[in-house]
Amino acid sequence: MRKSNQLTPMTRQKEGRKTEGQNSKYWRVSRFPVVLFLLIANVLFGQNVKHSIYLIGDAGKDTLPGPALTMLEEELKLHQNSSVIFLGDNIYPAGLEGKEGNKKKHLSEMKLLSQLERTRDFTGHVFWVPGNHD
């Protein structure tokens, strides 16, 4: 004889479908207020970006702009009302080294110019922070 609390596979399957159907109906009905709330909140509290700040560091390794500087330049063209902060190590590895006319000094200047040129047509704010290699 079978206990009354045991279910046959057929009964479990039927009850499973019934439960799934109830859950689906529950989620269809109860999701609507959540979605409506999110839409209203987005309209009422959605914010437009008024000013962006771009941070870039360790950009002074190469004399030609790498992918990060190139991407920064493109972003600055699109968002003139923003600021960019160069976070140091703008001339890597030893800062501005050498005397006037020296090859090392010229190389150091080229590294710095590769960064400066990215902000040439930029009308926003540009800040430079010296690093431990500058």
50 confidence band (pLDDT: 50, 70, 90): confident
CA distance 120 to 118: 6
Model confidence at 85: pLDDT above 90 = yes
Query: Residues 64, 81: one domain?
Result: yes
Domain count, the chain: 2
Query: Residues 59, 118: one domain?
Result: yes
Query: Residues 95, 65: one domain?
Result: yes
Query: Residues 31, 14: one domain?
Result: yes
11 confidence band (pLDDT: 50, 70, 90): very low
Query: Residues 59, 95: one domain?
Result: yes
Query: Residues 123, 57: one domain?
Result: yes
Query: Residues 58, 121: one domain?
Result: yes
Instruction: Let me know if residue 1 belongs to a domain.
Output: no
Q: Please say whether the beta carbons of 58 and 92 come within 8 A.
A: yes
128 confidence band (pLDDT: 50, 70, 90): very high
118 confidence band (pLDDT: 50, 70, 90): very high
Per-residue tokens: 111: 């590294």
Instruction: Let me know if residue 16 belongs to a domain.
Output: yes
Q: Are strands 125-128 and 52-56 parallel, antiparallel or unpaired?
A: unpaired
The per-residue pLDDT for 58 is: 87
Burial of 90 (0-12, 13-18, 19+ CB in 10 A): buried
Query: Residues 56, 114: one domain?
Result: yes
Instruction: Let me know if residue 75 belongs to a domain.
Output: yes
Model confidence at 28: pLDDT above 60 = no
Model confidence at 13: pLDDT above 60 = no
Whether the model pTM is above 0.85? no
CA distance 47 to 56: 25
89 confidence band (pLDDT: 50, 70, 90): confident
Query: Residues 59, 122: one domain?
Result: yes
Instruction: Let me know if residue 134 belongs to a domain.
Output: no
Buried b / exposed e along 32-60 (16+ C-beta atoms within 10 A): eeeeeeeeeeeeeeeeeeeeeebebeebb
**Residue 65 domain boundaries:** 52-128
Instruction: Determine if the peptide bond prior to 93 is cis (ω within 30°).
Output: yes
